Amino acid sequence: MLIQFNFKNFKSFRDEVSLDLSATRIKEHEDHVVETANDKFLKVAAIYGANASGKSNVFDAFAYMTYYVARSFGFGDTDETYEKTEDSHAKAPFFLYDEKSRDEETSFEVFYVDHAENTGRVYQYGFSLKDCEVVEEWLYSKAKTARNNYRTIFYRKKGEELEMNGFDKNHIDNIKSALNKETLIVSLGAKLQIDKLKKVRNWFLDNAIVDFGNPRENYFLSKRLPKNFTTSKEVQNNIVEYFASFDDAIRGFDVEEIVREDEEDGRKRYRINTLHKMADSEKVANIPLMGESSGTLKMFTLYPPLKSVLERGATLVIDELNSRLHPLLVRNIILTFLSPEINTNNAQIIFTTHDIWQFSNDLLRRDEIWMVNKKKNGVSELYSLVEFQDEEGNKVRRDEAFAKKYLTGNYGAIPALKPMTMLKGRTEEDGQKRKETQ
């Protein structure tokens, strides 16, 4: 379970910001609160903001941190993988709009409870990057019964001696001999099968990151099939039942393997049709899966990560959840995570959205609603509704009409609109002036 995600100097975020899923002491929707590790946490965070405000950069920051944890074991000055990715992913995209930030570190940090251990132990893990180099990395933990007494598992800082506690000497020697300046200890240690470090890497990999704001990724996501979908009728029936939660038109799937002699990559390919009951008989009509509506395809794409995180008690991070989905369907997804009967492992969902219908005190707590506002200097800021205060120091009341007040600018994080006068049609007078100038 993610407790807190901190980052700074990343894209439009110059200063450190914190997405905190700790439950505050407010009284609304107390059934949303989960108690674990001797504390109280939330399962939902909805992030709002104007276009180009930076809300997708919150998503990108978590995705980037996960990417670096998962892949940096292969980064290095002479490593082919690193050379291929240096221009796009290995080098963190720092805040561009002032000279000072270009020379500062980009940092990422998470606090989390690893439910795979079932001990309630809290971990604090993070790292700082500068010019494709890891300049600092740390991993601390505290027991469920400890208050704030974190112990150091390892600490690394450029120019200082590496500190590693509770590791075999052989593991320490292997880390020291194989560690590149671009590589995270957690990533390398997982590759070397060191259990303590592999658990940290696996916590990141158990989470699911889905970018519906990226058209290219949308295309590849739509081609990805759920595990065992082509061979298991049980999986197919589960997906039919899943579809029935919003559309009972689909009755099944027809899966046919496509055999092509000219293909040499060895990958199996399938022709997939959805089966729909015909209106005038008991027969079914076959419709190509890719011929279904964009909303149905998006829900098909969402099935694997939803299934995975709910089973594992992990975190689902989604950019543009509302895109191509009806507001009631979005609400149903949120309610799935809020339901203790369905979400038995306390999985979490963090999503960016423009869906104002979910910006409501009948659905979410004030500490579950987050906003990203970009200031005039180009710096994005992140804050929850429970933290917000107006110019007179007034906080948001639990009984306010959240959506209405948000749209009228009371909470910030909305676009500053101006009339689109540049699109004005030509008048007769404009046409005459144009002729005179020709």
Report CA 202 to chain centroid distance, whole Å.
16
The domains of the chain are located at 2-207+314-384, 215-299
Close Cβ partners of 381 (under 8 Å, ≥ 6 residues apart) = 15, 17, 372, 373, 374, 375
Whole-number pLDDT of residue 191: 96
Give the separation between CA 279 and CA 120, rounded to whole angstroms: 54
Whole-number pLDDT of residue 81: 47
- H-helix or E-strand spanning residue 116: none
β-pairing, 348-352 vs 44-49, is parallel
Fold of 2-207+314-384: Rossmann fold (3.40.50)
Cβ contact 18:382 at 8 Å: yes
Question: Model pTM?
Answer: 0.91
Whole-number pLDDT of residue 90: 61
Report CA 310 to chain centroid distance, whole Å.
15
Give the separation between CA 406 and CA 49, rounded to whole angstroms: 10
Q: Is the backbone of residue 368 left (phi > 0), alpha (psi -120 to 50) or beta?
A: alpha
**Sole residue written with tokens 């799935």:** 336
Cβ contact 11:54 at 8 Å: yes
Of 432, 355, 429, 434, the closest CA to residue 48 belongs to 355
Report CA 168 to chain centroid distance, whole Å.
35
Sign of CA dihedral 364, 2, 137, 204: negative
β-pairing, 380-384 vs 369-374, is antiparallel
Report CA 77 to chain centroid distance, whole Å.
30
Whole-number pLDDT of residue 414: 84
Give the separation between CA 113 and CA 217, rounded to whole angstroms: 30
**pLDDT tens, position by position, 258-303:** 876 556 666 788 899 999 988 887 788 999 998 989 889 999 999 9
Cβ contact 296:247 at 8 Å: yes
Tokens for 303, please give them. Answer: 């099935």
Close Cβ partners of 435 (under 8 Å, ≥ 6 residues apart) = none
Give the separation between CA 151 and CA 138, rounded to whole angstroms: 11
**pLDDT tens, position by position, 59-117:** 999 999 999 999 999 987 554 444 444 444 467 888 877 878 888 999 999 999 998 88
E strands, 69-200, where?
A: 106-113, 122-130, 133-142, 151-157, 163-164
| Below-50 pLDDT ranges, the chain | 79-89
